[in-house]
Structure 1
């Protein structure tokens, strides 16, 4: 049962693509509408600049957030990259990494099912974007170790996920 308070909390919600565009603009990130149901921006991360794209499927009330770290996997590295994808995905609670079959482009994808009203809150939009950037930043070094450092998938993941101990 909805209360007056929960209705008021939803008063600032917006169509998903519009809310993402507003969030991107508020952060000073460039906004480009690809279509009425798709928006994109570029967001600086710790290692690289990420292309972030929101795609809305109204008939399913699903918002798909894509984050592309500008990593292309050459054919010669497909096997270790796929092994790393599987190992990385085991570490994720939300979303997953994938390789697009066209061009070997690495992508982080997360789909969010929205309610019957199909609206997205600012806090949910921020959480989706923050999570995508955080996960891409966390695993970016592992992909670089596989692609450029000739490490095995396990060694690359272990090296990338080393947590610093103690204080500096």
Structure 2
């Protein structure tokens, strides 16, 4: 969590989504690049790997979409098991969902925020969006590893990953 002493817009200081996310990334020391006035890209270190984060702002809809990519590619011969695992994992999620991009087979976690009429993003919203993405990717990363490299079934992978996560200290 960012402390009150860090350099970022304060709790009551909402900002344009890309600006708020840039301030959050800066305050946390995360590498990032403002791709355009409507898109930011950065990297966040998770428990298992470094995640590529992309946020895209659509002002015409007041929607901010977040993509979190754990740099996991799903080989064609593993897609059936991976899609089965996706279905089981997505049942566990309250926010966002996992998917496999049809081009390239990249695993991705996606989430979106519908912002108010002013189109501004608050610090708490920004932190929550990023933290949820990283937490969910960390939570299920082992399950995808079990399917893709451990030759486990989707149900075995999820059960093993949840046991491992519950036992971690």
TM-score normalised by L of structure 1: 0.91
- Work out the CA distance in 2 between the residues paired with 1:122 and 1:10: 6
User: For 2:104, what is the secondary structure of its paired residue?
Assistant: coil
Q: CA deviation at 1:120?
A: 0.4
Is contact 2:11–2:123 with CA below 8 Å preserved after alignment?
A: no
2:7 is matched with which residue? none
Counting matched residue pairs gives: 158
User: For 2:18, what is the secondary structure of its paired residue?
Assistant: helix
Q: CA deviation at 1:10?
A: 7.6
- Compared CA separation, residues 103 and 60, structure 1 to 2 (3 A): same
User: For 1:12, what is the secondary structure of its paired residue?
Assistant: coil
- Work out the CA distance in 2 between the residues paired with 1:71 and 1:115: 34
User: For 2:110, what is the secondary structure of its paired residue?
Assistant: strand
- Work out the CA distance in 2 between the residues paired with 1:42 and 1:110: 17
1:122 is matched with which residue? 123
Say which of 161, 164, 167 aligns to 2:167: 164
1:151 is matched with which residue? 152
- 1:116-162 Cα deviation digits (max 9, x unpaired): 00000011100110000000000000000000000000000000011
1:69 is matched with which residue? 70
1:12 is matched with which residue? 13
- Work out the CA distance in 2 between the residues paired with 1:45 and 1:33: 21
The reply to whether residue 142 of structure 1 matches residue 149 of structure 2 is no
In our comparison, the structure showing a higher alpha carbon Rg is 1
Q: CA deviation at 1:11?
A: 4.9
Alpha-carbon RMSD across the aligned residues, in angstroms, is: 1.5
- Work out the CA distance in 2 between the residues paired with 1:13 and 1:153: 41
Is contact 2:11–2:124 with CA below 8 Å preserved after alignment?
A: no
- 1:38-88 Cα deviation digits (max 9, x unpaired): 001100000000001110000000000110000000000000000000000
Moved over 4 A (4+): none
Give structure 1 stretches of 5+ with no counterpart.
1-8
Q: CA deviation at 1:164?
A: 2.5
2:44 is matched with which residue? 43
User: For 1:103, what is the secondary structure of its paired residue?
Assistant: coil
2:29 is matched with which residue? 28
2:107 is matched with which residue? 106
User: For 2:20, what is the secondary structure of its paired residue?
Assistant: helix
Give structure 2 stretches of 5+ with no counterpart.
1-9
TM-score normalised by L of structure 2: 0.90
